[in-house]
């Protein structure tokens, strides 16, 4: 029987023609983007460095449990994608990194199937806040996504604060990129968990998901989740086998995640990153040294409560 899960990081597949639905024109932006005096970008620098760091993912050489014999279709309709997620047990999937209007169209078609996070630039001020409110109220998006590595602006910067205040007012959560980045044209610690501390102090009612679980500053995030009642995290972008690997840096996370913080950790499957189906990832999580009731919380219960879905 397929286990029911909630996925904190789901990417839309390419459409039927093979054209990517994924968005981030900002993902290709380097520092100073738009300055006419800039020389052409240096090859392999900035975001392109991710291909140097994650060579196995780029080459398709996969780890434990990978679907080595499966060939993924070049493109899928949203209907086909939903059918695939249903077969794999994903009850709700969190979407981001897609143009807000594309997200809204998907949510309109499948209102209870996806939990969509709007991307709003902190540099747009109150115009951005009004657009965020419109997306929540009229287009039925479900929360806010903050990725400091794209904006080159740490999440604790006051320019995000009007957006956080609007999240509290609308009673929707925010998912904040909280890990080291490998874009070597900007500071490596833009996503350090320390930035979450100031946000949580200033907005104690704000539901915060620390995306990617703070690695390599895992101990800092563990302490902060103990400190702030509305601070959770998700495991996206990390292969589940590494959580139980000695020396990988997750020892404290696993200890507290199995005990005092068992109600605070959610799972992002990032299935395209590892070429793992959701059931294959679930099988690896089930092998981790976690209590059975804790595995259920990580895979489903905690996200159900956090997202209120």
Q: What is the DSSP annotation of 116-176?
A: EEEE--GGGHHHHHHHHHHHHHTS---EEEE-HHHHTS-TTSGGGHHHHHHHHHHT--EEE
pLDDT score at 37 = 80
Question: In Å, what is the CA distance from 235 to each residue of 82, 100, 145, 211?
Answer: 22, 24, 16, 7
Average pLDDT for 91-102: 94
Domain annotation for the chain: domains and CATH numbers: 5-307 (3.20.20.140)
Comparing 18 with 171, which gets the higher pLDDT? Answer: 171
- Report how far residue 283's alpha carbon sits from residue 260's, in angstroms, rounded to the nearest whole number: 24
Percent residues over pLDDT 90 in the chain: 75
Q: Please determine, for residue 74, whether its predicted confidence score (pLDDT) is greater than 70.
A: yes
CB 213 within 8 A of CB 179: yes
- Report how far residue 139's alpha carbon sits from residue 150's, in angstroms, rounded to the nearest whole number: 24
Average pLDDT for 75-99: 95
Percent residues over pLDDT 70 in the chain: 91
- Report how far residue 179's alpha carbon sits from residue 166's, in angstroms, rounded to the nearest whole number: 25
Reported confidence tier of residue 36, pLDDT bands at 50, 70, 90: confident
Q: Please determine, for residue 294, whether its predicted confidence score (pLDDT) is greater than 60.
A: yes
- Report how far residue 272's alpha carbon sits from residue 11's, in angstroms, rounded to the nearest whole number: 8
pLDDT score at 34 = 66
pLDDT score at 1 = 82
- Report how far residue 37's alpha carbon sits from residue 92's, in angstroms, rounded to the nearest whole number: 46
Name which of 1-10, 57-66, 168-177 the model is least confident about.
57-66
Comparing 60 with 52, which gets the higher pLDDT? Answer: 52
Other C-beta atoms closer than 10 Å to the C-beta of 55 total: 10
pLDDT score at 57 = 72
Reported confidence tier of residue 24, pLDDT bands at 50, 70, 90: low
**Among 163, 184, 151, 126, residue whose Cα is nearest residue 24:** 151
Q: Please determine, for residue 100, whether its predicted confidence score (pLDDT) is greater than 60.
A: yes
Q: Please determine, for residue 122, whether its predicted confidence score (pLDDT) is greater than 90.
A: yes
- Report how far residue 209's alpha carbon sits from residue 33's, in angstroms, rounded to the nearest whole number: 29
- Report how far residue 282's alpha carbon sits from residue 267's, in angstroms, rounded to the nearest whole number: 10
pLDDT score at 69 = 43
Q: What digits encode the pLDDT tens for the residues 139-198? A: 999 999 999 988 899 999 999 999 999 999 999 999 999 999 999 999 999 999 999 999
Count, in order, helices (H) and strands (E) of the chain: 14, 8
Name which of 26-30, 87-91, 258-262 the model is least confident about.
26-30
- Report how far residue 38's alpha carbon sits from residue 244's, in angstroms, rounded to the nearest whole number: 45
């Amino acid at each position: 029987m397929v286990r029911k899960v909630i996925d904190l990081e789901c990417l839309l597949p390419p459409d039927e023609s093979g054209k990517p639905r994924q968005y981030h024109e900002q993902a290709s932006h380097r520092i100073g983007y738009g300055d006419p005096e800039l020389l052409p970008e240096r090859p392999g620098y900035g975001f392109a460095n991710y291909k140097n760091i994650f060579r196995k993912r780029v080459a398709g050489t996969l780890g434990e449990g990978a679907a080595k014999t499966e060939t993924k279709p070049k493109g899928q309709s949203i209907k086909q994608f939903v059918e695939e997620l249903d077969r794999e047990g994903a009850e709700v999937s969190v979407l981001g990194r897609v143009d807000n209007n594309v997200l809204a169209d998907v949510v309109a078609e499948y209102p209870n199937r996806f939990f969509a996070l709007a991307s709003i630039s902190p540099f747009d001020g109150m115009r951005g806040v009004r657009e965020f409110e419109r997306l929540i109220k009229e287009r039925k998006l479900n929360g806010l996504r903050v990725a400091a590595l794209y904006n080159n602006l740490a999440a604790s910067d006051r320019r995000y604060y009007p957006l956080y205040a609007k999240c509290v007012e609308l009673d929707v959560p925010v998912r904040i990129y909280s890990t080291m980045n490998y874009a070597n044209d900007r500071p490596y610690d833009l996503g350090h968990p320390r930035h979450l501390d100031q946000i949580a102090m200033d907005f104690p009612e704000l539901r915060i998901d620390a995306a990617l679980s703070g690695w390599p500053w895992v101990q800092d995030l563990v302490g902060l989740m103990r400190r702030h009642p509305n601070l959770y995290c998700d495991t996206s972008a990390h292969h589940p086998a590494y959580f139980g690997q000695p020396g990988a840096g997750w020892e404290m996370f696993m200890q507290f995640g199995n005990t005092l913080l068992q109600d605070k950790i959610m799972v992002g499957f990032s299935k395209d990153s590892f070429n793992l189906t959701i059931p294959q990832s679930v099988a690896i999580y089930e092998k981790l040294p976690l209590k059975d009731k804790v595995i259920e919380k990580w895979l489903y219960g905690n996200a159900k409560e956090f997202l209120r879905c």
